[in-house]
Chain A
Amino acid sequence: MALWEDGLSARKLPQQVIPLVIIFAAALAALIIARKILVPKTFGDLGYYRAAAVDEIASQPISYAGSKACLDCHDDIDQVKSQSKHRGLSCEVCHGDAAKHVEAPDEVKPIKPIGRGYCPLCHGYNPARPTGFPQINPDLHNPGRACMSCHNAHNPMLPHAPEECAACHRQIASQKTVSHHATLTCVTCHTVPDGHLTNPNTVLAEKPKTKDLCGKCHAQGADSPAEIPRIDLATHGGRYVCWDCHYPHFPEAAR
């Protein structure tokens, strides 16, 4: 009782508490210092993350320059392209990342995909592609020839109609060249309207309809070289037409 009433004793902490207070104070100071050192500078400014990271990510260098950068120098090509079916394509779709080319136009040149490897990435036949998207079968469509030898990539529509039927009907043409019909031109049997060259799917070439066409060479009394095999047009094959049994582009192989 007397101890508590003495002002000096009341202010004095119990001896066993003093080290505890020191330890707690030191721990608190250590925590504050550790937090100061370990928590990054801008952490928590905008949320539970380092705000400086946003600007760090934003300042990363670019690889693709964007098609607007190309127009500064290559507006002549853009004029062609903007009128063509490829108008929606950015230059870097085919020419690759060109930011370095924009910085040093003479030293770094963008790629130019030539040959047949690149175009089929978009235009190769694939049933999962949307209906109506122009597709070809790369194995059959003029094999061995570079796409660029007929199509200008900046304006891919054909500038002229194909000169040979084989440009499109390659499979038939290659078969015909090893057959007895090798010397016959396509128009010997097919009538080809003018429009077929430019609109092949709407204006169709005509196929023979009767036996008489084959009979011009193969009938008994036909005015043709003697080595050509003859048949009696009236009785041979009965009611069937010739191409029911003989494939005209490779007649040796009877069906």
Chain B
Amino acid sequence: MKTEEAKTPRREFLETCGKALPAWVVFFATIKAGTLSAADETEVYDPKQHDYAMGIDIHKCIGCGRCVNACKIENKVPAEPYFFRTWVERYVIPAEGEAQVDSPNGGRDGFPEMKTDPDIRRAFFAPKLCNHCANPPCVQVCPVGATFSTQDGVVLVDETYCVGCRYCIQACPYGARYLHPEKKVADKCTFCYHRIRKGLLPACVEVCPTQARVFGEAGRQSSPLRRFLRFNDVTVLKPSLNTNPKVYYAGADREVR
């Protein structure tokens, strides 16, 4: 009797196991699929987790214009000397009177040597680009919604949707936009959005030989920009306009506007 009792549960157990086999297969399959989809989720880019910004150290800029050159090549900006996504300005501060600012071909070919005048107090270079304002006037005025702030804090132009009305070019207080002569749409710096989404640096930052340009995320501890903002006394251009720019300048004179 005892042996009979012992036998039946074992058979039942094995039978149950056999019946449950498909369930096991499904169970393990779901676990595997679950881990895979979890891995996929870490790969998926979440724009809300990013907040891109740039720092520019005026003290380090040598005015070589490599950033302008790289930007034009990377973004296929027309070569004519009046279309720029980024450009470098040279400021010459005399003892008396207005500062002189020049930017021959955006600084792409370097700067011709200037006359050494004893009246000149200081001279320096200031790279300029779209400030990717958190409160962008260009986006406000776009009548069709072709320019916009992305969730990761970059101001972009949808070139298939832009009607080329030039309102945004007028509205930008930094002169960062131009009308593309062939596409007839507004064009501007994208922080090399196609590069940063691939984990690369913007072209201008990549080629800057003196690390005068720093790219990163203001909200991320490990970002080099965080260090830049901590170690430098930073300013933004035209703060009174309340555009809330995200290009931070270290060592910028009040003449830099």
The 4 A-B residue pairs with the shortest CB-CB distance, nearest first, are A49-B148, A128-B123, A53-B158, A60-B194
Q: Which of the segments B64-72, B225-233, B234-242 contacts the partner chain?
A: B64-72
Which of A14-22, A87-95, A162-170 is found at the contact surface with chain B? A87-95
Among residues of B, the one whose C-beta sits closest to the C-beta of A59 is B194
The verdict on A122 contacting chain B, using a C-beta distance below 8 Å, is yes
Chain B residues with CB below 8 A from A62, complex form: 74, 194-195, 198, 200
Q: Which residues of chain B are near A127, meaning CB under 8 Å?
A: 113-114, 116, 120, 123
B105 to chain A, nearest CB (A): 12
Q: Considering the chains assembled together, what is the distance between the CA atoms of A122 and B114 in angstroms?
A: 15
Chain A, 30-68, contact with B by CB distance < 8 Å: what is the 0/1 string?
Answer: 000000000010010011111001101111111110110
Contacts of A97 in B (CB 8 A): 70, 73-74
Contacting chain A: which of B1-9, B24-32, B206-214?
Answer: B206-214
B209 A89 Cβ-Cβ under 8 A: yes
* Closest partner residue, chain A, to B147 (CB atom): A49
What CA separation (Å) do A82 and B147 show in the bound complex?
42
- Rounded to whole angstroms, the CA-CA distance of A58 and B44 in the bound complex is 14
B-chain residues with CB within 8 Å of residue A53 when the two chains form the complex: 148, 156, 158, 160-161
Known pairs A47-B149, A54-B47 / 20 extra A-B pairs, C-beta < 8 Å: A49-B146, A49-B148, A50-B161, A57-B158, A57-B193, A62-B198, A63-B203, A64-B70, A64-B206, A67-B206, A86-B209, A88-B210, A90-B206, A92-B206, A93-B209, A97-B70, A120-B110, A124-B110, A128-B125, A129-B62
Contact (A130, B158) CB under 8 Å given A63-B73, A64-B207, A97-B70:
no
Task: Please tell me if A125 contacts chain B, counting CB pairs below 8 Å.
Answer: yes
- Chain A residues in 8 Å Cβ range of B113: 124-127
In the assembled complex, the CB of B127 is this many whole angstroms from the nearest CB of chain A, namely 13
Residue of B nearest to A86 (CB): B209
With the chains together, A215 CA to B160 CA distance in Å? 84
Q: Which residues of A are found within 8 Å of B120, using beta-carbon distances?
A: 127
Q: Is B111 an interface residue (CB 8 A)?
A: yes
Q: Does B223 contact A (CB under 8 A)?
A: no
Interface status of A10 (Cβ within 8 A of chain B): no
A227 to B161, CA, bound (A): 88
State in angstroms the CA–CA spacing of A57 and B63 once bound together: 29
Indicate if A121 sits at the interface (CB-CB under 8 A). yes
Q: List 23 A-B contacts (CB under 8 A).
A: A48-B148, A49-B147, A54-B193, A57-B156, A57-B194, A61-B194, A62-B74, A62-B198, A63-B73, A63-B74, A63-B203, A64-B74, A88-B209, A88-B211, A96-B73, A97-B70, A122-B62, A122-B66, A124-B113, A125-B113, A126-B63, A127-B113, A129-B63
B82 CB, nearest partner CB in chain A, Å: 21
Q: Nearest chain-A residue to B47 (Cβ)?
A: A54
Contacting pair A66 B207 (CB below 8 A): no
User: Complex formed: what's the CA distance from A92 to B204 in Å?
Assistant: 11
Contacts of A90 in B (CB 8 A): 206-207, 209
